[in-house]
A and B are shown apart, each in its own frame.
Chain A
Amino acid sequence: MDKAKVVEIKDLGITYHTIEEETEALRDVNLDIYHNEIIGVVGPSGCGKSTLLSIIAGLIKPTKGSVRVNGRLVDKPLNNVGYMFQSDQLFEWRNILNNVLLGLEIQGKLDDEAKERAKEMLHSYGLGDFIYSYPYQLSGGMRQRVALIRTLILEPDLLLLDEPFSALDYQTRLAISDEIGTILKKEEKTAIMVTHDISEAISMSDRVVVLSQRPGTIKKIFDIKLSCNKERTPLKSREAPEFRHYFNEIWRELDIHV
C-alpha cells in the first residue's frame, strides 16, 4: 500500500543569532514522513531536536529550506498540526473540560457538539470522573492524558511530541507512553516524537532518526522492525528480541562521550 506523504522536510537549515555569536543549529535536514507513521528523533543534547519540532510547528522560521505538511508550506502554526510539551501545560484556573476545549476556543470552533465530544473523549480515556476537577487534583499521568486529549480533539493530521513524558516518574512514564503509543496507532495518527530516551524511541516508533552533534543533521535512520509486529504496543516492543540490538546500534550512532 502506497501511503500518503504527510510531512516533507527539504534541505532544512537554521542559524541562530545572539550578541555573542551565531550558531548553526540544523543543516541539510531532509525527511519524508508518511501517514500513520511514528517517527522518533534522538540526538545528543543541544543538537537541535526541539528546534526541528518548533520549525515544523511553524513557531520558528527556518533560514534555509522548507517544511510542508500535507503539501502546504509551513509559514505559521497550522491548525492541522498538534504539539505536546514536556510538561502538560494545563491552565490551573480552568477545569479539565475547559482545558481540553482551549484549542477549540482559540480557533473559534467551540460549540455544544464539540463540548459533547470532549466529554466523550474524557470518558473513554478514563477521566470521566474528573471532567469538572482542577488540574492540581490530578496525578501527573492523568494530566498528561488530558494534554493529549486537548491536542487530539483538534483532529490534527500531524502530532509533534517534544519529550512528552520526561516530566513523569519512570513507572508512570512507561504506562503513559504505552497508552499514548497505542492511542496514536488506533487513531491512525502521524507523529514526530523528540526524546532523549532511546528505549522510548524504539518502543514507540516505526522509524528512529538519529541526529548528529550541532549543527544537527540526519546521521542515520533506523527502520524499527520488531518480531512482535502482529500486535505491537510500546510495552510489548520492549520484549522483542531485536530491541537490544536496536538499542546498541542507536547508542553507538549517538557517539556520546562524557
Chain B
Amino acid sequence: MSNKSISKSHQEYLSAIKRRKRSILIAQIGILILTLVLWEVAANFRWIDPFIVSSPSRIVKLFIEYATNGNLHKHVFVSLMETIVGFAAGTILGLIIAIGLWWSEYWARVIDPYIVVLNSLPKTALAPIIIIWVGAGYSGIIVTAISVSIVVTIMNMYNSFISTDPNKIKLLKTFGASKPQILKKLVLPASIPNLIGTLKISIGLSWVGVIIGEFLVSKAGIGYLIVYGSQVFKLDIVMMGVVILAIICALMYKIIASIEKHFIKWIE
C-alpha cells in the first residue's frame, strides 16, 4: 500500500484528518495551560486567596523542596507500592474467583445475591473494619485496595466468561476438549479485551482504596500527605498531593492502554 502513489484527493483527505487530530491536541493542551495561567494570575492578584487555593508556582516550589529533601520519593513509592500490590492481588484473586464461578454454575447462582449486595455497597465503608482486622500498616491499606477493586473484577470477568460464543465451545467439544482445555484455549483468550477494560477500571479503584486507607492510618504515602496538609492547613501540600496523584494515574492508564493496543491487533 505504502509504495503506491497516492492520489491528490486522497492526500487531501489524509492531511485533513491529521489537521483535525492536531487541532484536538492543541485544544487539550490549551485548556491545561489556560487553567494554570488563570489560576496563577488569580492567586497573584489576590482575586482568590492563595492560602486556601494555593497556586501553580507555590505547588512547583513545594514540589522541588520535597523532591530534593527526599520526602517525596518516599511518599510516592509507598502509595505506588500499595496500589500496585493491591491492584495485582485484586486482579489475580478476582480472576480466580470468576473462573471458579464459571466452572460451577451452581455456585455462581448460590453466590449471586451476595455479589450483588457487595457490588452496590460502598466498599469504603468497610475500610475501618478491614484496618482493625488486618492491621494498621501497609497490609491493611493493601487489603482495603483489594476490597474496593475485586468485586468489579469478579463481576466483569464472570460476565465475560459466560458470554463466550456457545458455538465455539461446541466446536472444541467436537474435538473432544476437556473443561480445562475449553478454559485455556477459548474462554480466557476470548476475554482478554474485557480483561483490559476491567484493568482500566480497577486500577482507578485500587487508588481509591489506597488513598482511603492512607487517610485512615498511615505514616507515609500520598494520601497521608493530603490529610497531613489539610490538618496543618497547608493547602499547598494538599494540592501538590492531588496533582501528583493525577499525573501518576494518567501514566498508569496510559500503560494499560498501550498493552491494549498490543493485544487488540486481532479485534476489528
A residues lining the B interface (CB < 8 Å): 57-59, 76-79, 81-83, 85-87, 89, 91-93, 102-103, 105-107, 134-136, 154
Contacts and interface: CB of A to CB of B under 8 A. Distances in A.
B173 A59 contact: yes
Given A81-B174, A136-B267, 9 more contacts: A77-B173, A77-B174, A82-B174, A83-B170, A91-B185, A92-B266, A102-B172, A106-B172, A154-B175
Given A93-B192, A102-B185, A134-B266, A85 B171 contact: yes
Interface string B48-86: 000000000000000000000000000000000000000
A3 B192 CA distance: 49
Per DSSP, chain A at the interface is loop
B171 A83 contact: yes
B267 A106 contact: no
Interface of B: 165, 167-168, 170-177, 181, 185-186, 189-190, 192, 265-268
Q: What 9 A-B pairs come out closest when comparing CB atoms?
A: A83-B174, A106-B175, A103-B175, A92-B266, A106-B177, A136-B268, A93-B266, A134-B266, A89-B171
A59 B174 contact: yes
Contact of A105 (B185, B267, B268): B185
A107 B168 contact: no
Contacts of B170: 59, 83, 85
A92 B267 contact: yes
A91 B175 contact: no
Contact of B266 (A103, A107, A136): A136
A136 B265 CA distance: 10
A102 B175 contact: yes
A106 B185 contact: yes
B175 A107 contact: yes
Contacts of B176: 76-79, 106-107
Contacts of A83: 170-171, 174
B259 to A, nearest CB: 15
Nearest to B168: A89
16 contacts: A77-B174, A78-B176, A82-B174, A86-B167, A87-B167, A89-B167, A91-B185, A92-B267, A93-B192, A93-B266, A102-B175, A102-B185, A103-B175, A106-B175, A106-B185, A134-B266
A78 B175 CA distance: 8
Nearest to A160: B174
Contacts of B167: 85-87, 89
- Of residues A57, A76, A77, A107, which shows the largest number of chain B Cβ atoms within 10 Å of its Cβ? A77
A102 B182 CA distance: 11
A57 B266 contact: no
B52 to A, nearest CB: 53
A91 B186 CA distance: 8
Contacts of A57: 174
B179 to A, nearest CB: 12
Nearest to B182: A106
B260 to A, nearest CB: 14
B265 to A, nearest CB: 7
Contacts of B186: 91
Contact of B165 (A59, A89, A102): A89
Contacts of A91: 168, 185-186, 189-190
A93 B194 CA distance: 14
A112 B167 CA distance: 29
A50 B181 CA distance: 25
Contacts of B177: 106
Contacts of B165: 89
A87 B206 CA distance: 41
Given A57-B174, A106-B172, A134 B265 contact: yes
A59 B267 CA distance: 30
Contacts of A89: 165, 167-168, 171
A136 B181 CA distance: 24
Contacts of A154: 175
B175 A93 contact: no
Contacts of B181: 106
